[in-house]
Amino acid sequence: MKIMYKLINSKMRTYRGFQWELGKWYKKTEEEILCSPDWLHFYSDPLVGLFLNPIHADIKNPRLFRVEVKGKGLDDNETKYGYSHVRLIEELLVPQISPVQRVRFAILCAKKVYKGKEWNEWANKWLSKKNRINVDRSNKYNFCTTRTMGVSGAVESAYFATKSATSTVKSKMIAFYAAKSADLAAEIAFCVTKNKKINLIRIARKAMEK
């Protein structure tokens, strides 16, 4: 029996209103496409799930459960897993992730595949807290995604979003920029895993360090 983790909304529901109950076994058919209603979806680690939630189910204020899984399984480059037989066994406390920690996660993922000297110098200084002044490209990037500007630009845009989220701007703008940094960080991690096998659990835990 394997242990995985599941994010569920406040009403114990997930995709298309699927209703969950603690301790009850659920069974699904085993199709070949992971991103379909024929699989029940999980994460290998709570932090990985919370970092990637913005580009997956995007559950607002999720509840976190430990689950038992069995039967056939599929995975999407370790960003999420699907199993056919599962049950919720325990509700857990949800770790709180700040916008700054999301940017740490994005940078640590990007460094696994992006070797540009200038960008890595900036990233290393940011991670070490030696220099967290953004490269002045916010207008150029304009919150684009990795699909249009590449990993390095998306990380810098995520940083600018975090900087804005933690500044003295209006509360609505704080929420907007915090959400934008979350989206970008998750998308960067997803894109990186398509190019290289990385240890998302280790990166997620390192991103949470003070």
The reply to whether 201 and 103 lie within a common domain is yes
Would you mind telling me the total number of residues written for the chain in this entry?
210
**How many folded domains does the chain comprise?**
2
**Which of 71, 92, 113 is the last residue in one of the domains?**
92
The reply to whether 127 and 55 lie within a common domain is no
In this predicted structure, what is the pLDDT of residue 70?
Answer: 86
Residue numbers of the domain that contains 34: 2-92
The reply to whether 118 and 38 lie within a common domain is no
**Which of 92, 117, 142 is the last residue in one of the domains?**
92
Q: What is the mean pLDDT of each run of 10 residues along the chain (210 residues)?
A: 92 86 83 61 93 88 94 77 89 91 84 77 82 48 43 59 52 58 74 79 90
The reply to whether 103 and 202 lie within a common domain is yes
The reply to whether 59 and 113 lie within a common domain is no
The reply to whether 13 and 34 lie within a common domain is yes
**Which of 77, 92, 107 is the last residue in one of the domains?**
92
The reply to whether 71 and 111 lie within a common domain is no
The reply to whether 77 and 136 lie within a common domain is no
The reply to whether 140 and 196 lie within a common domain is yes
CATH number of the domain encompassing residue 81: 3.20.170
Of the candidates 191, 5, 24, 53, the residue with the CA atom closest to the CA atom of residue 113: 191
The reply to whether 38 and 76 lie within a common domain is yes
Give residue 175's Cα distance to chain centre. Answer: 17
Angle, helix 99-110 to helix 117-127, in steps of 10 degrees: 140
In this predicted structure, what is the pLDDT of residue 3?
Answer: 94
Distance in angstroms (rounded) separating the CA atoms of residues 24 and 15: 18
The reply to whether 82 and 168 lie within a common domain is no
The reply to whether 112 and 70 lie within a common domain is no
| SS3 track for the chain | CEEEEEEECCCCECHHHCECCECCEEECCCCCCCCCCCCEEEECCHHHHHHHHHHCCCCCCCEEEEEEEEEEEEECCCCCEEEEEEEEEEEECCCCCCHHHHHHHHHHHHCCCCCCHHHHHHHHHHHCCCCCCCCCCHHHHCCCCHHHHHHHHHHHHHHHHHHHHCCCCCHHHHHHHHHHHHHHHHHHHHHHHHHCCCCHHHHHHHHCCC
